Homo-oligomer: A and B are copies of this chain.
Amino acid sequence: MSRTSTRILILGGGFAGVFTAKALRRLARRHADVPVEIELVSDRNYFVFQPLLPEVAAGTINAQDAVTPLRLLLKDVKVRMGEVRHIDFAQQTVELAQGSKRIPQHRPYDHLVLALGQRTMLERFPGFAEHSFCMRDLAHAHALRNHVLQCLEHADVTENPALKQSLLTFVVAGAGFSGVEIAGELHEMLERALPMYPAIKAAEIRTLLVQRGQRILPELPEKLGDYAAQKLSARGVTVMYGTSLARATADAVYTQDGRQINTRTLITTVGNGPTRLVEDLGLTLERGRILTTPAMQVAGHERLWALGDCAYVPLGEGCAPTTAQFAVAQANTLAANLFLKLRQLEPRAFDYQPRGTMASIGHYRAVAEVFGARLSGLSAWLLWRAFYIGMLPGFATRLRVALNWFFDYFLPRSIVQVKTTSEPAARVVHYAAGDVLFAPGQIVDGFYTVIRGSLESRVPNAGTPQHAPSENGPQPAAAEGEHFVRILGPGDHWGERSLSEGTHTMGWLTAVDDCEVLVLQRSDFVKLRQGLPPLRDYLDRIPEKIYPPALRSPRTRPAPDHNN
């Protein structure tokens, strides 16, 4: 294509971006007199059909059946994998980091389409960012799946009843489409996995769906919501109405009305907000979304368009809802408007009548409202699947996906836990007052630094504890005789000696009040200690400063690290 063609750059590879590219492509073929170059930038090289992610997490379908490579979906569109760092509206360039992400690239454009989606904003809920799972991308589905399988494996062998109960409690926050689908699919996965875990009884599993309002699926007519609620309850999912979660720690979640639920698994489907990039663009935001004209242009920017979840597109009295269906409808209008504009014609306002809505609730059941008719059960579920299969590119792909779904009905569900996600080296962990972080004889997994609140370290002066450690919680501190007690405030740290000397813990570490702790993983601590001289020097001076002489000698029993 010659340089006289108009360069259209689309940022984002979700429903909004992909369907805009497809629609532009179609129009470009029709209007050969208006030459355009279309380029789409995405930070992942595939399109993810988000509504299917709960099924990937549950193992109903293979990951690859919920995603399609962008390059396959957009055959005549230039696809560029990169991360958008900055947009210069005056220069009409976008700064990208691609590949090893070190060298910034600058892409010029004539028209720019923002289809940047939203992010999950959990800052309002203490502990959520660190201790909850979300469901936006394939990686999230994998992470949740592996975590749940880890809980089952551990619950099957532990002899501590309280730990077992906590491992088998699964909490989903929010009962909109996403929350209901996750709770339904997760519960089905747990039920189907049970035959493999002889020590876990079905009655021991608790799936809780926490909903602020008095009904689930508020997006659907009340009757369908009630049907879904009834089906979920019958299968063992407990819906907690009229409450919401206030905060989370590593071991529990707390409701607004003060109830504590011990769990290792919180999945959140609430808290959408603008991405950092959208926040930094300096455009007018309305409820965290980019305000557009009814024709989806950004006011004051002649060559800038926005659609999908990141955009506030006026519609009727309010704005278009942030669903995939509306994103696709907007994509078609936006592409048409862009061509109208290129041909010096007037763009039209976005208008759309939704065709219907569907929610899968697991176990081959769904609820749907299509063209005014209501469906529930297997028929709705089949419709839901047929709709997705229709979207896939190519007959053979459709057949393969359909067959995989068919086989899922007959085959035992796989419980393979693939640990591809490594823990981040440094993570922030929340603890509630009274939480026991460590008891004597345990393995120290990292270097703990207090950020907020305080911890108490209590070590018996006698040295090594008398009895073997047990999984049934810590021994009472008073029983051990004399103790060396130290209170750790912000900036104080714990674990450096056990990590350096390879020993088990000698005493207790408990949270005095609610606190935030920075945990640096064992292996990274060792690397940093060796590599960063100031850190090493500082740590080497600690024993003399903090511990009484009796506690300074090396320990008797090494705890080797066989991680490899």
Contact = CB atoms under 8 A, between A and B. Distances in A.
Interface of A: 44-46, 62-64, 67-69, 71-72, 80-86, 97-106, 119, 138-139, 142-143, 149-150, 153-154, 157-158, 163, 167, 196-197, 275-277, 280, 394, 396-397, 399-400, 403-404, 407, 410-412, 414-422, 424-428, 438, 441-445, 449, 451, 468-469, 471, 491, 493, 504, 518, 520-521, 523-524, 527-528, 530-535, 538, 559-564
A425 B441 CA distance: 28
10 contacts: A63-B418, A67-B418, A72-B412, A98-B158, A99-B153, A99-B167, A105-B157, A139-B419, A397-B411, A400-B407
Contact of A443 (B102, B521, B532): B102
Contact of A99 (B139, B154, B394, B562): B154
Q: How many chain copies does the complex carry?
A: 2
B491 A533 contact: yes
A9 to B, nearest CB: 13
Given A45-B415, A102-B438, A394-B411, 20 more contacts: A44-B417, A45-B149, A45-B416, A46-B415, A46-B417, A64-B416, A67-B418, A85-B443, A99-B150, A99-B154, A101-B445, A102-B442, A104-B504, A139-B420, A143-B420, A280-B562, A403-B403, A424-B524, A426-B524, A451-B531
A256 B394 CA distance: 49
A159 to B, nearest CB: 9
A465 to B, nearest CB: 13
A418 B532 contact: no
B416 A46 contact: yes
Nearest to A525: B426
A517 to B, nearest CB: 9
A492 to B, nearest CB: 9
B443 A528 contact: no
Contacts of A276: 560-562, 564
A550 to B, nearest CB: 25
A561 B531 CA distance: 26
Contact of A97 (B414, B443, B449, B520): B443
A275 B85 contact: no
Nearest to A155: B99
A166 to B, nearest CB: 11
Contact of A404 (B68, B82, B400): B400
